[in-house]
Amino acid sequence: MIRAPLGECAYWEKWTEFASGHIQKKWSLLELPSSNPEFDPQFAFQLAKQISELLVLRYSRGDLIRELGQHFPGLLDAWELSNKLAADICRDWTFELSNLNHYNWCFWLVGLALALDIPDDQWQRLLTLIGGEGEDVLLDRIIASRQPGRRVGTKLLHKKPYARLQKAINAPKEQQAALLRDFVEHWYAELARKGKDELWWYIYGDPEKHPLEMGSYFGRWCIEAVAAVKAFGLDDSLCLGHEHYPGDLLRPDGLTTHPQREEAKPKPGILARLFGRKPD
């Protein structure tokens, strides 16, 4: 079944297969002699992001949860290659957690890594790539749930929307479910930024700014909430079925947590319309 609230089956089949093929082409290009070495680090980093998009695309399409972790090695390889290629140049994009775009993406990767129980060697590679130890109290605490001894920061880098998640984690147990739901409920709206600070994925699927036909939409999932649930055992029962909560990530062998969607019936052909036959 399709987990995402937008897009029919044909959409998810088309763009998941397109993303998979595009990634293979990019790997092939990286194996060839470069005509623009200064662009190669960014090219490889974009590949890492596209692999993460493919992973989420497959979740949205309804693929088996236990199949999704297979994309982590390639993602890590591409990011590490980007860093290696960038060793002798000055990068013009930001790798700092103080940048919301980078923070949000790293938070997603941590959440996916925890939920999918990636192997320890991949986990250590991911933490090395993310860096930022001691910079953000929320992300550090979540990472520390699997990485004891991690130095935890004292400040929250991005209060909107993450102060709500921090509040849920710090609350008494009987209040956590409602506060987690409050975070998920406000997550998308409070991530809104203007201009160059807008998140790279934020308008994907917007019917006016970036409609589905453009093929960029891969879902709008609050993976950060899943990260907190996995790390601290929060009660997520009030979030199940919410359009932004990817609850199936934590239930790989259970029934889906997403509402069943009715597939749109195909339009009748021209002969059926001419002779007045109703579609089945």
The phi, psi pair for 92, rounded to 5°, reads -110, 20
Asked whether residue 138 is domain-assigned, the answer is yes
Asked whether residue 254 is domain-assigned, the answer is no
What confidence tens digit (pLDDT) does each residue in 127-146 have? 999 999 999 999 999 999 99
Cα-Cα-Cα-Cα torsion 83, 68, 253, 2, nearest 10 degrees, comes to 130
Asked whether residue 258 is domain-assigned, the answer is no
Confidence check: pLDDT of 279 > 70? no
Domain enclosing residue 32, as ranges = 8-93
Asked whether residue 165 is domain-assigned, the answer is yes
Are 76 and 116 contained in the same domain? no
Residue with the two structure tokens 């929307």? 161
Look at residues 55, 72, 93 and tell me which one is the last residue of a structural domain: 93
More confident position, 228 or 94? 228
More confident position, 166 or 38? 166
Q: How far apart are CA 243 and CA 209, in angstroms?
A: 20
Are 244 and 114 contained in the same domain? yes
Q: How far apart are CA 270 and CA 201, in angstroms?
A: 39
Asked whether residue 45 is domain-assigned, the answer is yes
Four-residue CA torsion sign, 210, 214, 216, 219: positive
State residue 88's pLDDT score. Answer: 75
What confidence tens digit (pLDDT) does each residue in 48-80 have? 999 999 999 999 999 999 999 999 999 999 999
Q: How far apart are CA 210 and CA 192, in angstroms?
A: 15
Are 115 and 50 contained in the same domain? no
pLDDT confidence band for 263 (50 / 70 / 90): low
Confidence check: pLDDT of 159 > 60? yes
If you average pLDDT over every residue of the chain, what do you get?
93
Are 113 and 229 contained in the same domain? yes
Look at residues 78, 93, 108 and tell me which one is the last residue of a structural domain: 93
Asked whether residue 278 is domain-assigned, the answer is no
DSSP 193: -
CA distances from 78 to 2, 24, 48, 223, 265 (A): 28, 12, 5, 22, 41
Q: How far apart are CA 131 and CA 150, in angstroms?
A: 11
What are the start-end ranges of the H helices in the chain? 9-30, 40-61, 72-85, 100-115, 120-130, 137-144, 159-170, 173-190, 223-232, 270-274
What confidence tens digit (pLDDT) does each residue in 36-54 have? 888 999 999 999 999 999 9
What percentage of the chain reaches a pLDDT higher than 90?
86
State residue 256's pLDDT score. Answer: 97
State residue 270's pLDDT score. Answer: 43
Asked whether residue 269 is domain-assigned, the answer is no
Tell me, yes or no, if the pTM score tops 0.85. Answer: yes
Give the chain's largest Cα–Cα span.
73
Tally of structural domains, the chain:
2
